[in-house]
Amino acid sequence: MALLPVTDALARVLNSVSTLDTETVSIHDALGRITAKDIRSNLTQPPFAASAMDGYAVLYDDISNPLKVVGESQAGLSYTGTLKSGEAVRIFTGAPMVDGADTVVIQENVNRDDDQLIINECKARGSNIRAAGSDFMVDEVLVEANIKLDARHIALIAAGNVAEFTVYKRPKVAILSTGDELCEVGSKIGPDKIVNSNVPLFMALVKESGGIAINIGTAKDTAEDVKAKIALVKDVDMFVSIGGVSVGDYDIIQDILKESGLKVEFWKVAMMPGKPVVYGDFNGIPYFGMPGNPSSAYVCFANFMLPALYKMQGLLDGGFPTSHARLEHKLKQGSSRVNYMRATYHENELGEKLVSSTLTQSSANLKTLARSNCLLVRELKVPEANIGDLVRIIIIKP
């Protein structure tokens, strides 16, 4: 049976998941959330014309004449009078403009002796004034819908005096690992046992992606234990199991899940690592069956699960960003599966990206994955690549 192409597998995943409902959150809890509606300003910013510099508010027509300083305007405490010809008002950055003044002269360009002021230089009428609304106006869209909020967005929304707004809910993801050989982190490791690194990996990946990770434990390679664990999959938006999806005698989870309602959309994709990934519907819940090798599971997450999580939260083009880089070494001809090689890229003095994949590519090797900042993509049956050739990369760490 021919393996399913990666692009077709992703299309099936995205066609089967929907965006979640919305909720209202405080601006203080909004970092990393994805907007469900346009966020509009509740005020004009700045709400008044203000000085952009420390200096003196004057009439431009008076700049050649000695002036008398008659007061000052500071942020939060404006000058209440009206400027007359021959006068100047000391003004500070952010302070409201003085009635009657049309220019601010910066303090470096004046000489002052007590209340007498001489202006040495002023380039133009209206200099150093922030007009009312020069940043944004009341009811202006500050952040559009379907945007992942970062600190810059939070600052802008706060400046617009918006305390609460609508975002998509965070997907709840049930995580199950399987395998008699697995021991929890921090426990005593006996003979023939290994530490379960996959659950911490996927707990972290889900959290990094905006989701809520729910660890339902590790199942032994018995039908009874697997059934007991999958009975805990309730009130979640996604279900992922790790391990037991290949063709070994103890890879039983797919059969047991089918007995409990799993409808498989696909099994086995033309990719390496990660070929035996499973995707389907488990009683109305999107289900991913990930390979047990950590790097294989990570590559499957990057290609399928992350875009699905982002779509659930309103990001329709979600996923790790892609780019191109020039090879620093030769690569052999591509195979019948797309190869996602753990790699590192850096930029030279011209800003060009250069990439290397010389670390071991064993799918069980976590050190390679941890030390990589990208996946170097070798497409199906591409010819041998030489030093300097341009290749596609998936950036997993900026």
Count of all residues that appear for the chain in the document = 398
Q: If one looks up domain 50-130 in CATH, what number appears?
A: 2.170.190.11
Q: Are 357 and 310 in contact (CB under 8 A)?
A: no
Of the candidates 133, 146, 144, 180, the one whose C-alpha atom is nearest the C-alpha of residue 315 is 146
Please check the confidence at residue 184 and state whether its pLDDT lies above 90: no
The larger pLDDT score, comparing residue 293 to residue 163, is at 163
Mean pLDDT of the 247-264 span: 79
The topology (CATH level 3) of 6-20+170-312 is Molybdenum Cofactor Biosythetic Enzyme; Chain A (3.40.980)
Q: Are 374 and 355 in contact (CB under 8 A)?
A: yes
pLDDT of residue 246: 63
Question: In the structure, what pLDDT confidence band is assigned to residue 6 with cuts at 50, 70 and 90?
Answer: very high
- pLDDT per position as a tens digit, 191-201: 778 778 899 99
- Interatomic CA distance for residues 147 and 59, integer angstroms: 44
- pLDDT per position as a tens digit, 345-375: 999 999 999 999 988 888 878 899 999 999 9
Please check the confidence at residue 250 and state whether its pLDDT lies above 50: no
Token couple for 109 = 């360009």
Q: Are strands 67-73 and 116-119 parallel, antiparallel or unpaired?
A: antiparallel
Q: Are 271 and 340 in contact (CB under 8 A)?
A: yes
Q: Does the CA dihedral 331-335-338-341 come out positive or negative? A: negative
Please check the confidence at residue 66 and state whether its pLDDT lies above 80: yes
pLDDT of residue 348: 94
- pLDDT per position as a tens digit, 15-25: 999 999 999 99
pLDDT of residue 207: 97
- pLDDT per position as a tens digit, 300-338: 999 999 999 999 999 988 899 999 999 999 999 999 999
Mean pLDDT of the 231-260 span: 83
- pLDDT per position as a tens digit, 171-180: 999 999 987 7
- Interatomic CA distance for residues 172 and 215, integer angstroms: 11
* Residue 169, SS3 per DSSP: coil
pLDDT of residue 249: 44
The topology (CATH level 3) of 322-395 is Beta-clip (2.40.340)
What are the residue ranges spanned by the domains of the chain?
6-20+170-312, 25-44+139-168, 50-130, 322-395
Question: In the structure, what pLDDT confidence band is assigned to residue 48 with cuts at 50, 70 and 90?
Answer: very high
pLDDT of residue 365: 84
- Interatomic CA distance for residues 34 and 311, integer angstroms: 10
Superfamily of the domain at 25-44+139-168: Molybdopterin biosynthesis moea protein, domain 2 (3.90.105.10)
% of residues, the chain, pLDDT over 90: 83
Residue by residue, DSSP assigns 242-309 as: ES--SSSTT--HHHHHHHTTEEEEEE-BSEES-TT-EEEEETTEEEEEE-SSHHHHHHHIIIIIHHHH
The larger pLDDT score, comparing residue 167 to residue 222, is at 167
